[in-house]
Amino acid sequence: MSDLFSGLKTKLTGKGLKIVFPEGTDERILKAAGRLAAENILTPILIGNEKEITEKAQGLGVTLNGATIFDPHHYSGMDEMVASFVERRKGKATEEDARKVLVDENYFGTMLVHMNKADGLVSGAAHSTADTVRPALQIIKTKEGVRKTSGVFIMVREDEKYVFADCAINIAPDSQDLAEIAIESAKTADMFDIEPRIAMLSFSTKGSAKSPETEKVAEAVAEAKRRNPALVLDGEFQFDAAFVPSVAKSKAPDSVIKGDANVFIFPSLEAGNIGYKIAQRLGNFEAVGPILQGLNKPVNDLSRGCNEEDVYKLALITAAQAL
């Protein structure tokens, strides 16, 4: 396991954090939850029918000592949860609506986080991104001053670590969105002991091409600097000008970024998604994420193609976000 996760395990062990897994009967979830519980890193909360979860775990040879199981259909605290949900939805849901909605594993798990009965949630092994993110946006909501959540990947190869954003959520971010994504990505970088040096990417470097697309990125640079002048951030950059010192010296000699960026903000979801997959498949980087940022409490979305190791690692990240 990379130093990235060894460090997280050290930070988390003994902190008593609780992470919800709504997909309690999924084999990958069960195996990862068993490891996390056995290592005393965190307490997994599995959602589903207790008999089904227990029998599935036994069949897999997984020990769930130290884990908690909640069944939404037989939850003693449901009345309290219903009242909390109705209050949180502020007139958009009746008590009857709440009782129907809260038997859904993702809504139930998200409410556990909202009510401080858990510290974060990991879902998506068997659900779509929308199924995971929608309850989080309705219940946990974004932090004050943050308009939208965004999704980042930590790209890891041996001792190299980079942050790529947004690669998961916002299809066509405007300049305000990009500035916000940059600021939130700097906080995520700090969490992984990456001292953020942020490049706002485009197909132009410092005005080498002019179009609405490049001007959007230039405006985002100005807005991010206005909101947080302490950030080491610049753009717009082509990737090579942000990453290769000799190219930076030629194309952007006066920039604070000297070809040494480690946080890369892509101008669109299309670019970000393509970019991280190229790095993953051609560059042999491990793509850790997507990590959702900007929410009041951590909720993270697995790929439906994930494996046990992906679940394990994203749980560690989610718990770290809760610290």
pLDDT band per the 50, 70, 90 thresholds, residue 2 = low
CA 233 from centre of chain: 22
Report residue 293: phi and psi, to 5°: -125, 155
Taking alpha carbons only, the member of 171, 111, 164 closest to residue 141 is: 111
Query: Which has the minimum average pLDDT: 138-142, 176-180, 300-304, 314-318?
Result: 300-304
d(CA 300, CA 124): 8
Percentage above 90 pLDDT, the chain: 81
d(CA 223, CA 176): 7
What is the distance between the terminal CA atoms of the chain, rounded to a whole angstrom?
Answer: 21
pLDDT band per the 50, 70, 90 thresholds, residue 288 = confident
- pLDDT of 10 > 60? The answer is yes
Query: Which has the minimum average pLDDT: 25-34, 46-55, 203-212, 304-313?
Result: 304-313
Residue type, 211: S
| Tokens encoding 232 | 């080491």
Q: Are 32 and 2 in contact (CB under 8 A)?
A: no
Query: Which of 217 and 290 is assigned the larger pLDDT?
Result: 217
CA 140 from centre of chain: 14
Mean pLDDT confidence for 274-283? 96
Taking alpha carbons only, the member of 281, 284, 292, 218 closest to residue 255 is: 218
**pLDDT score for 6:** 80
**Region label for 70, one of left (φ > 0), alpha (ψ between -120 and 50) or beta (otherwise):** beta
Q: Are 300 and 121 in contact (CB under 8 A)?
A: yes
pLDDT single digits (tens) 68-101? 999 999 999 999 999 999 999 988 889 999 999 9
Tally of CB atoms within 10 A around 29: 30
The structural domains of the chain, ordered by start, are: 3-141+296-322 (3.40.50.10950), 150-286 (3.40.50.10750)
pLDDT single digits (tens) 214-225? 999 999 999 999
pLDDT single digits (tens) 238-261? 999 999 999 999 999 999 999 999
